[in-house]
Structure 1
Amino acid sequence: MVFAHGFGCDQTMWRFLAPAYEARFRTIAFDLVGSGGSDLSAYRRDKYDSLHGYADDLLEIVDEFATGPVVFVGHSVSTMIGMLATIKAPHKFSAQIMVGPSPCYINDGDYIGGFAREDIDELLETMDANYLGWSSNLAPAIMGVPERPELRSELTNSFCRNDPKIAKHFARTTFLSDHRKDVPLSTVPALILQCSDDMVAPLSVGEFLHRHLPVSTLHIIDNVGHCPHMSAPTESSRAIDSFLASALR
């Protein structure tokens, strides 16, 4: 079972969810190149100018550490990284779990991604001008759960620890990506796990994925924020257990 974190995060944020699976699976968590404790010297702008570069890294990790098809658990942008990997090598995956996924963050006609293009441009411009200030303002809103200030502080600190130049480039790669056309190509069974109130990935996005993924289950958790693996781990694991009981039969 391989866990991949979202933008601004690192592998430690799976500590609330991953232990629930250690008795049944070999669990592997890692930091995306450019994030957390990864080797920053390995970051190449040309490779990571699209999510395909991260998908190639994921496949290398699967080849190195897995002995058979894996269950991939991705959060936020890593859900699309995982999906791209399942398209490139479907035989290496038995299931994919998408926590707060989005194939495109920008509204486009009937598609509601959650942001106007102007909103994304403003977000990126603010980030360029003052990365630490941007992180301090946005991270608590992304986490949600105002009753858990320690989680809001943790995500803020995680954002602020990242190298600003790399984080800015990763943000552009993330928020300007559009993988809607790739969605129907992923045939690996998928669980779409969403929060009922998520400023980053609205319910319309989960419904789009559910309609276009060939084999998918949509589960909505009654929770505010974009990180249910941290703020609602029990509810998240229940949904994952139910899905895996069916997907891995």
Structure 2
Amino acid sequence: MDDGSSRDLIQHAWGMVSLPVLKNLMLQASRLVKGAAVADRIVLCGVPCFILSKDPAPELAAVLARKESVSQLSTIAETEIHLEDEATSTRKFARGQYRQRNVILHLTGGGFFAHTIASDLPYLLDWSSSTGSVVICPEYSLLPEHQFPTQLNEIERIYAALASGNTGAELGFDANSIIVTGESAGGNLAAALCVKLAMQQQAESDNENDVQPSEQPVDSTTRKSRMPDAIMLSCPALNLTTELSHSRVVGTEDPVLPNTLISAISEAYLPSGTDNTHCL
């Protein structure tokens, strides 16, 4: 199977799980079968997101009820970026006046060509139930229209808003602990997010060391690069090079994820001229 055939396989086979109608059905099933108190769709930082909670979250439910509904997924294009009208946004409160909730930021897989959110919903609700957390699952931009670093930038914007306590008006709560989880291509994004945050922390530390004694020291509360409280990766696609490794030799005949498929994803995801060994 050549790279072109691999791309066609992803778009036409894996892409089926990204169909808006299937996502909508699974969202409704989450309420009926899994007993989700909240199973809806919301826009954060211009990115459509699934938002789930097994436990009642009245403040979140109230915010969702006030917002213009975006739950009719069949009317929303996957590549569309939604911006909330300032006139319809909820009243802003001072930081610290919102209830705090633990958050799981889940980055779904699909080879950057698709979202496997529909198949993720059942276990995401189990996670919500066992941890008491609200699960946020971004529908980041997809290939072939959007390449690196678009997806990473979208995830970083959402994470930064959660970490800085700037989502109270959108969610009805501020994030307390934040766990980032990623599956397959989402694992790549989760790892890249943490690497980027670590790079930002190092830059901030270097800037602090450069401050002269007479200058005002940097207040640690203003830092934007708070690391996640935990990270969990499931089958992460971390190596986007075409070089052979032990795992690739062993998995040469893998019927699910052959080397040609990895090569096709890497070629499509990284713009021409991008170093595929870059840490992000």
Same fold (TM over 0.5): no
Q: State TM-score, norm by structure 2.
A: 0.36
Question: Which structure features the higher share of helix residues?
Answer: 1
Larger gyration radius, structure 1 or structure 2: 2
